[in-house]
A and B are shown apart, each in its own frame.
Chain A
C-alpha cells in the first residue's frame, strides 16, 4: 500500500490543502480509527475542483453519520465513516465468491468501495487494521469492476432492446448509451483501469489509449456521441457485450411463478393481478404477456421463450429485461422465485 509520502501531492496550494485537511481529520480521531485517502485525486484522474475523498475506519461501534461533507475554497471534502467489520464483510463478499451469481447481488457501491480501498493511501492505520486493509487487492478490484460492469452492460442492453421493441425510442437510446458506458468500463477494467465510477470512463479511456485514438473513440463514441438510429446503436452495443457461457446459463436459469393466491384478470391495454383480498397490481406490455402465459400454466422458461419470439427480442435479453421489470412483483409477493 502506498503512503502519503509516495503520492505526488506536490508543494502547491492543492498539496498543502489536502495535507491540512487530513491532519485536521486525523487529529480528531480516536486511537482505534484509521484514516484513508482515496478517490479520483489518488487515482490520478482528479482535477483542481475534485473532491477529497476520506474514509474514516473505526475499530468498532455504531456510526452516527455515515457521510460528512465539508466546504473549502476550491473543493469539498467527502468524508465517509465505516467500521473495520464492514470492510471485512465487504472483502469476504468480493474475494470469497467471485462467481457471477455473487456479482448479480453485489451493489455498485460495494464494487466502488472495494476498488477505492485497494488504491487508498493511509494517513493513519490503527493497530489491528492492517490485516483487513491488505485484503483489498487492486488486481482483484479491477477484475470485479470488469465483471460487474459487464453484467450491468448486459442488463441495460437487454432493457434497451425491450424498450426499443415497445416503441419507446428515447428510453431505449438512453438505456443503450448507458449500456455502452458500462461496456467501456468493463473493457477498461480488463486492462487495469478499474476505477468503478462511471463518470470517469472517458478520462480513463483517454489516459490508457490516448485521447482521440481509434480505441478511445471505439470505446467512448457510443455513450458520448452515438450515431445512427437506436436500432443501429443496439446492434453495436450487442457486438461489444459478450456474455460468458456461465453467466448466460445463470441468467437463463432464473425462474419465477405466480404466487398461489394470485389471480390474473385480463383487460384492454393492461392486465391486473389480484393477490388474496388485499393487493392489486396493474401490468402492461411484455410483463402482462408473460403473466398471462404463467396464469395459463406455462413455466417461466416457456412463457418468456414464447413472448420473446413475439416481441422479436433474443430470449436471454428478454429474460434479463423481464427479470428486472418484474422485480416489484417479486418484492410484493405476486411472483415467487422458483
Chain B
C-alpha cells in the first residue's frame, strides 16, 4: 500500500467497523469450535456462513473498498458480494459457491467443508483471524488496540470502551491488550 490520507472521523468510522467485523469473526469462531465439540452440526454450519461473510468484508475493506450496508444481514451480504464482484468477479463467484454449498450430512463431510472454507478465508481472502478461535481473539484485540491508540492521540474521540477485563474498570488503559492475549495462554477446551 502507498499512503492513504483521510479525515480523522472517516478513519475512526472505518476502524470501528473493522473492530465490529473482527468481533463477528471472534463470536463465530467461538460458536464454531464449541459447536464442533458439542456435535451441534447446524450451529457449525451457521457459524461457517457468518465467518465467510465477515471475512469477505474484511478482505474487501483491506482493498480499500467500503461496501454499502443493507437494511438487514441478508441485504448487506448481497450488496457486499455485489461490490466484491465489481472488484474481482472470480473471487466473488468463489464466495457465492461456498455460501451456496449444501451442508454435508455426515460429520467428516461437515468438518472437511469447514476446513475448506477456513483455508479459503486464510489463504485466498488473507484474513488470518479466520483460522482459529485464538487467532480471532487476537485479531479483535489488535483492531481495538489500534482504535484506542489512535483515539487517544486524537484526544479520546469516539474510542471503544465497550469491553472490560477481570477485576478492572474500563478506564483509559492499554495494558488490557496483554491481559486479553494472556487468556489465550491457557488450555483451549475446543482444541484440547
Instruction: Give A contacts to B, CB under 8 Å.
Output: 24, 46-51, 64-76, 79, 156, 159, 170-171, 173-175, 178, 198-203, 205-206, 211, 220, 224-227, 324, 327
Q: How far, in whole Å, are A65 and B170 apart by their CA atoms in the complex?
A: 10
Closest chain-B Cβ to A160's Cβ sits at a distance in Å of 9
A66 proximity list for chain B (CB < 8 A): 162
Q: How far, in whole Å, are A24 and B96 apart by their CA atoms in the complex?
A: 45
A24 proximity list for chain B (CB < 8 A): 166-167
Which of A159, A175, A199 is the one whose CB lies under 8 Å from B31? A199
Q: List 7 A-B contacts (CB under 8 A).
A: A47-B38, A49-B31, A51-B30, A171-B82, A174-B100, A200-B43, A206-B42
Q: Is the CB of B170 within 8 A of A48?
A: no
Stretch at the interface among B3-11, B116-124, B180-188: B180-188
Q: Is the CB of A226 within 8 A of B189?
A: no
B96 proximity list for chain A (CB < 8 A): 170
Q: Is the CB of A224 within 8 A of B42?
A: yes
Q: Is the CB of A48 within 8 A of B31?
A: no
Given contacts A64-B161, A199-B46, list 19 more A-B pairs with CB under 8 A.
A46-B34, A48-B38, A48-B190, A49-B34, A49-B37, A65-B162, A65-B170, A70-B163, A74-B190, A79-B164, A170-B78, A170-B96, A174-B74, A174-B100, A198-B46, A201-B46, A202-B45, A203-B40, A206-B40
Q: How many A-B residue pairs have CB under 8 A?
A: 116
Q: Is the CB of A70 within 8 A of B102?
A: no
Closest chain-B Cβ to A196's Cβ sits at a distance in Å of 14
- Chain B 6-57 interface residues, beta-carbon cutoff 8 Å to A: 23, 26-27, 30-31, 33-35, 37-38, 40-43, 45-47, 50
A64 proximity list for chain B (CB < 8 A): 161
| Residue B135 interfacial (CB < 8 Å) | no
| Residue B77 interfacial (CB < 8 Å) | yes
| Residue B148 interfacial (CB < 8 Å) | no
A79 proximity list for chain B (CB < 8 A): 164
Closest chain-B Cβ to A317's Cβ sits at a distance in Å of 16
Q: Is the CB of A225 within 8 A of B102?
A: yes
Given contacts A170-B81, A201-B42, A225-B102, contact A73 B71 (CB under 8 A): no
Closest chain-B Cβ to A268's Cβ sits at a distance in Å of 21
Instruction: Give B contacts to A, CB under 8 Å.
Output: 23, 26-27, 30-31, 33-35, 37-38, 40-43, 45-47, 50, 71, 73-75, 77-78, 81-82, 96, 99-100, 102-103, 105, 133, 137, 161-167, 170, 179-180, 183, 186-190
Q: Is the CB of A69 within 8 A of B189?
A: no
Which of B41, B45, B99, B186 is the one whose CB lies under 8 Å from A73? B186
7 A-B pairs closest in CB distance: A202-B42, A49-B34, A225-B102, A47-B34, A47-B38, A224-B103, A69-B163
Secondary structure call for the B interface: helix
Q: Is the CB of B30 within 8 A of A202?
A: no
Q: Is the CB of B165 within 8 A of A71?
A: yes
Q: Is the CB of A71 within 8 A of B180?
A: yes
Q: How far, in whole Å, are A74 and B38 apart by their CA atoms in the complex?
A: 14
Q: Is the CB of B40 within 8 A of A47?
A: yes
Q: Is the CB of B37 within 8 A of A178?
A: no
Closest chain-B Cβ to A65's Cβ sits at a distance in Å of 5
Given contacts A202-B42, A324-B71, contact A51 B27 (CB under 8 A): yes
Identity of the chain B residue whose Cβ is nearest the Cβ of A211 in the assembled complex: B41
Q: How far, in whole Å, are A47 and B42 apart by their CA atoms in the complex?
A: 13
Identity of the chain B residue whose Cβ is nearest the Cβ of A175 in the assembled complex: B74
B35 proximity list for chain A (CB < 8 A): 47, 49
Q: How far, in whole Å, are A235 and B46 apart by their CA atoms in the complex?
A: 23
Given contacts A71-B183, A226-B102, contact A47 B166 (CB under 8 A): no
Closest chain-A Cβ to B27's Cβ sits at a distance in Å of 7
Among B50, B161, B166, max chain A CB count under 10 A is at B166
B74 proximity list for chain A (CB < 8 A): 156, 159, 174-175, 178
Q: Is the CB of A71 within 8 A of B37?
A: no
Among A46, A67, A75, A202, max chain B CB count under 10 A is at A202
B162 proximity list for chain A (CB < 8 A): 65-69
Identity of the chain B residue whose Cβ is nearest the Cβ of A202 in the assembled complex: B42
Identity of the chain B residue whose Cβ is nearest the Cβ of A73 in the assembled complex: B186
Given contacts A79-B164, A171-B78, A202-B42, contact A48 B100 (CB under 8 A): no
B75 proximity list for chain A (CB < 8 A): 159
Q: Is the CB of B43 within 8 A of A199?
A: yes
